[in-house]
């Protein structure tokens, strides 16, 4: 008899599906497993006879072999013990005894799983105290236009709430990795992405500043070809307002930039923009950003409606074209960054109701990001930023 079913195991608060196969044949009792299940084999060997005996099933007449499709490296970092009870339950359910105490097993293949399960992140929790709608549409907009950004938040709670809501509203295939809770999961991430990673998935990394520089570099190496699918959250300083264009950082100047100083250079230079997400001073619970200026917080619909087609129709005059070329040739600003700058400022122009990109739009973006550029990138071109 073969029993086959699908269940899931926990991987750092995310869930990955596991296909379990159990072969039962007649013979002297033995329980074998494939090597990925080594950790729980002895437990099963002890528990199963006891439970079968209690159900009056003559366990001694069965040879049981259990296997799964779990890659061995992943098996090392998931909680395999969650597999014990579904395995035991399926065996007990499928073996039963007749009134004379004669054990028998049901014929044919039994499959307990009917639904397809896919890899899932954790169950969403809503934060009733926060209105995240505007912040979420900002996250979604940046992701849609592949504007690689780092999100500066003032609390771990907010980044977790944003990640979970982003998953439930925009992209169910979002995996959340919380480095506050699991600073050591980085090695396991490699295995995870090797086996399960795909372009369909999004990843939310919370608390990058909690990783050592070396681990940040490892993370960067893991995700560098897929940055557009990553959400990075970091608390920039103790108060969380460092680099915020709308709020004042109140941290002592000696420790203010410590978290930012600890960021890996490679990671910093790969990220084009920063966006601060924080609770509004005027509207309690409303999470706003310093992105596109906060006055647009009312304009949630507009942020969600912007498409690539909208931006394609935005005209760039030849004067501006030559300015952008100059950024590349004179100031060595990398072409992908110039492209992102243009996208970012085109969104601003569009939101301002124009179908032409103006110098002012680019100026505003550079101005809004100048703290970050000064901090993170070669600041030459900031000093030569255009006049409004």
* Cβ(71)–Cβ(195) below 8 Å: yes
Q: Going by C-beta distance under 8 Å and a sequence separation of 6 or more, which residues neighbour residue 370?
A: 382, 385
Q: What is the DSSP string of 326-342?
A: HHHHHH---HHHHHHHH
Q: How far is the CB of 158 from Zn ion (least distance, A)?
A: 15
List of long-range contacts for 376-381, beta carbons under 8 Å, 24+ apart: 376/268, 376/269, 376/271, 377/268, 377/269, 378/331, 378/332, 380/331, 380/332, 381/327, 381/331, 381/333
Site map (CB under 5 A) of Zn ion, residues 369-388, x = contact: --------------------
The distance of closest approach from Cβ of residue 84 to Zn ion in the complex, given in angstroms and rounded to an integer, is 47
In angstroms, give the least distance from the CB of 290 to Zn ion.
Answer: 14
Q: Residue 239 interacts with Zn ion (CB under 5 A)?
A: yes
- Rounded Cα distance between 294 and 376, Å, is 24
Q: Which is nearer to Zn ion, 197 or 240 (CB)?
A: 240
Residue with smaller CB distance to Zn ion, 250 or 317: 250
What residues numbered 249-308 form the site for Zn ion, per CB under 5 A? 249, 251
Q: Which segment (35-43, 78-86, 231-239, 276-284) binds Zn ion by CB under 5 A? A: 231-239
- Give me the least distance between CB of 239 and Zn ion, in Å please: 3
Residue 237 interacts with Zn ion (CB under 5 A): yes or no = yes
Q: Which residues pair with 32 in a beta bridge?
A: 65
Pairing of strands 287-289, 273-279: antiparallel
Alpha-carbon distance 1 to 107, whole Å? 7
Closest to Zn ion by CB, 6 or 259: 259
Shortest spacing between CB 156 and Zn ion, in angstroms:
15
246 binds Zn ion (CB under 5 A): no
Instruction: Tally Cβ neighbours within 10 Å of residue 289.
Output: 24
Nearest residue (CB) to Zn ion, 88 versus 246: 246
Residue closer to Zn ion, measured from CB, 248 or 295: 248
The CB-of-259 to Zn ion minimum distance in angstroms stands at 9
CB nearer to Zn ion: pick between 248 and 301: 248
Stretch in the footprint of Zn ion (CB under 5 A) among 106-114, 120-128, 166-174, 246-254: 246-254
Return the C-alpha torsion angle 45, 46, 51, 53, nearest 10.
90
Contacting residues toward Zn ion, per CB under 5 A: 237, 239, 241-242, 249, 251
């Amino acid at each position: 008899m073969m029993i086959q079913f699908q269940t899931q195991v926990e991987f750092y608060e995310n869930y990955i599906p596991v296909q379990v196969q159990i072969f039962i044949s007649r013979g002297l009792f033995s329980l074998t497993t494939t090597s990925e299940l080594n950790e729980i084999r002895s437990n099963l060997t002890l528990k199963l006879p006891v439970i079968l005996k209690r159900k009056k099933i003559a366990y001694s007449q069965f040879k049981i072999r259990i296997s799964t499709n779990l890659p061995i490296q992943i098996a090392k970092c998931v909680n395999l013990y969650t597999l014990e009870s579904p395995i035991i339950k399926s065996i007990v359910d499928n073996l039963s005894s007749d009134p004379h105490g004669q054990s028998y097993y049901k014929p044919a293949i039994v499959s307990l799983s009917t639904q397809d399960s896919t890899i899932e992140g954790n169950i969403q929790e809503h934060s009733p105290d926060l209105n995240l709608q505007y912040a979420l549409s900002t996250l979604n907009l940046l992701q849609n236009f592949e504007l690689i950004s780092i999100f500066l938040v003032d609390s771990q709670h907010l980044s977790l709430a944003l990640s979970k809501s982003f998953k439930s509203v925009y992209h169910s295939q979002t995996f959340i990795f919380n480095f506050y809770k699991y600073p050591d999961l980085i090695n396991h991430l490699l295995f995870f992405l090797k086996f399960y990673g795909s372009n369909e998935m999004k990843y939310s990394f919370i608390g990058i500043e909690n990783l050592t520089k070396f681990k940040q570099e490892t993370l960067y190496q893991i995700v560098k070809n897929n940055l557009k699918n990553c959400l990075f959250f970091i608390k920039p300083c103790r108060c969380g307002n460092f680099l915020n264009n709308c709020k004042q950082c109140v941290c002592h100047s000696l420790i203010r930039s410590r978290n930012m100083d600890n960021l890996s250079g490679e990671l910093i230079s790969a990220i084009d923009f920063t966006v601060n997400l924080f609770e509004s001073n005027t509207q309690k619970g409303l999470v706003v950003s310093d992105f596109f200026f906060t006055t647009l917080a009312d304009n949630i619909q507009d942020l969600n409606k912007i498409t690539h087609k909208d931006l394609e129709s935005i005209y760039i005059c030849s004067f501006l074209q030559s300015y952008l070329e100059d950024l590349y040739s004179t100031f060595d600003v990398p072409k992908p960054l110039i492209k992102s700058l243009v996208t970012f400022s085109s969104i601003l122009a569009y939101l301002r109701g124009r179908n032409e990109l103006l110098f002012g739009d680019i100026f505003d973006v550079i101005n809004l990001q100048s703290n970050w550029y000064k901090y993170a990138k070669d600041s030459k071109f900031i000093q030569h930023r255009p006049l409004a």
